[in-house]
């Protein structure tokens, strides 16, 4: 790397051969429009498809592209943590491979970098929106789930699950090394850890594009998150995150 990265972008990837170009093309454009140095870390989570082949095509397009090709599937949480542990930027963002939250939305988060250690994208506060509105049933289900998560694990956060979160370098390292969840509910856990360690959290409204091919099940995965929120509450009581 020719100069120290201002912003590290961590992207976990599992079976993303058809979608990851959306994020990478957007980052190529974003890099051209900004003067600060970027570091892009793609962490492959034991993916069986040709995601690696697609990502390799961007080595000449992105100045500081790092690819971590882990052969074993461990889950999104583990994969994001590995990327964060490897990241060297002053600020570290993790985002999804499908560019559901356009990368240029990070500029909204960076406005608060001097005041907050953890700055997260939110679809459910003022300034946040879904480009394609969800059905009433799905929307109500999501709000009920969030209320339960707030009660059990991390109060005052309207959108724990948006996969677009920015951290100061030192805060990211301290938070993620205490994380215990390897899969779906890690977002809730890292916010709970941040709260326990007195890091200031800011929610910022962003634009989000729903992926019609998402494999997330509102009922099945929602129940898992409720269970995991309870586990986080229990871990907190036991002092696991200290």
3-state secondary structure the chain: CCCCCCEEEEEEECCCCCCHHHHHHHHHHHHHHCCCCEEEEEEEECCCCCHHHHHHCCCCCCCCEEEEEECCCCCHHHHHHHHHHHCCCCEEEEECCCCCCCHHHHHHHHCCCCCCCEEEEECCCCCCEECCCCCHHHHHHHHHHHHHHHHHCCCCCCCCCCCEEEEEHHHHHHHHCCCCCCCCCHHHHHHHHHHHCCCCEEEEECEECCCCCCCCCCCHHHHHHHHHHHHHHHHHHHCCCC
Task: Output the pLDDT for position 135.
Answer: 73
Percent share of the chain, pLDDT over 90: 83
Inside any domain, residue 180: yes
Q: Report how many domains make up the chain.
A: 1
CATH code, 109? 3.90.550.10
For residue 148, being part of any structural domain is answered with no
Q: 140 in a domain, yes or no? A: no
Instruction: Identify which has the larger pLDDT, 235 or 131.
Output: 235
Range of the domain at 13: 7-133+159-212
Residue 144 resides in a domain: no
pLDDT score, position 147 = 93
Question: For residue 65, is it within any domain?
Answer: yes
pLDDT at 1 over 50: no
In a domain, 226, yes or no: no
Give the pLDDT confidence score for residue 143 in this predicted structure: 84
The string of pLDDT tens digits covering residues 152-175 is 999 999 999 999 999 999 999 999
pLDDT greater than 70 at residue 105: yes
Higher pLDDT, 8 or 135: 8
For the segment 210-231, what is each residue's pLDDT rounded down to a tens digit? 765 555 666 777 889 999 999 9
Residue 237 belongs to a domain: no
Per-residue pLDDT at 73: 96
**pTM for the whole structure:** 0.94
pLDDT score recorded for residue 218? 63
Q: According to the model, what pLDDT value does residue 215 have? A: 57
| 51 is a domain residue | yes
């Amino acid at each position: 790397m020719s100069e120290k990265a201002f912003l590290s972008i961590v992207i976990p990837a599992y079976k993303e051969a058809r979608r990851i170009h959306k994020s990478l093309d957007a980052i190529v454009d974003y890099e051209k429009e900004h003067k600060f140095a970027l570091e892009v870390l793609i962490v492959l989570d034991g993916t069986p498809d040709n995601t690696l082949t697609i990502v390799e095509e961007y080595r000449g397009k992105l100045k500081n592209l790092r690819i971590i090709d882990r052969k074993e599937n461990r889950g999104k949480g583990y994969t994001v943590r590995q990327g964060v542990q490897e990241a060297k930027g002053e600020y570290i963002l993790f985002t999804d491979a499908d560019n559901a939250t356009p990368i240029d939305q990070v500029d909204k988060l960076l406005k608060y970098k001097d005041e907050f250690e953890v700055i997260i994208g939110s679809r459910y506060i003022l300034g946040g929106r879904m480009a394609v509105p969800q059905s009433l049933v799905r929307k109500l289900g999501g709000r009920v789930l969030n209320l339960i998560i707030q009660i059990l694990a991390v109060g005052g956060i309207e959108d724990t699950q948006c996969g677009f979160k920015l951290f100061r370098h030192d805060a990211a390292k301290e938070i993620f090394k205490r994380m215990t969840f390897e899969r779906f509910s890690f977002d809730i856990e890292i916010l709970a850890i941040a709260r326990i360690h007195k890091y200031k959290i800011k929610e910022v409204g962003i634009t989000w594009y729903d992926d019609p091919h998402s494999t997330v099940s509102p009922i099945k995965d929602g129940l898992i998150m409720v269970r995991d929120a309870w586990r986080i509450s229990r871990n907190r009581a036991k002092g696991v995150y200290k």
